[in-house]
Amino acid sequence: MAVSFRILPQHGLVHVRFSGQVILSDSSTALQRFAAHPEFRPGLNQLIDLTDVTGHIADPVELFRVHARKAEVFNRPGEQNLTVYIAPHETAQKLVALILRSFEGIEGLRHSVVRAEAEAMDVLGFAQRSVAELTEQPV
């Protein structure tokens, strides 16, 4: 699996892209890199693009562990963080279903699942129709 992220601090957003076979240890490593990044700050909203995901290896215990850590990293007490998942096909939608179950009962996180990047931009409240467009225009 490949996972990459780009922090857009001027927009309060981190854009994460997964591709190939999703393996939780890779996701955990990416989370550690993200938390150590100089532009990281709690409270960032997330746009997670699963368009290029071809499958995943299920390990429910590890999934819950990674997402509990993710909640610690992202949450600021008393605030709501929004995560928008782009899941345009069945494989991505099945993965999102697992992810959402692992976040049940964790306060401070809101989730939305869409099929296209333009929809994600709407949910996040941006006038731009894509991340590329978002990064091309000044704040």
What pLDDT, in 10s, does the model give residues 76-113? 677 788 999 999 999 999 999 988 887 787 777 899 99
Give the per-residue pLDDT at 97. 92
3-state secondary structure 111-136: EEEECCHHHHHHHHCCCCCCHHHHHH
CA atoms of 94 and 48, how far apart (whole Å): 14
Q: Does the structure show a pLDDT above 80 at 68?
A: no
CATH number at residue 116: 3.30.750.24
Q: Which domain holds residue 27?
A: 2-136
Give the per-residue pLDDT at 1. 58
What pLDDT, in 10s, does the model give residues 1-47? 589 999 999 999 999 999 999 888 778 888 889 889 999 988 899 99
What is the tally of structural domains in the chain? Answer: 1
| Percent of the chain's residues with pLDDT above 70 | 96
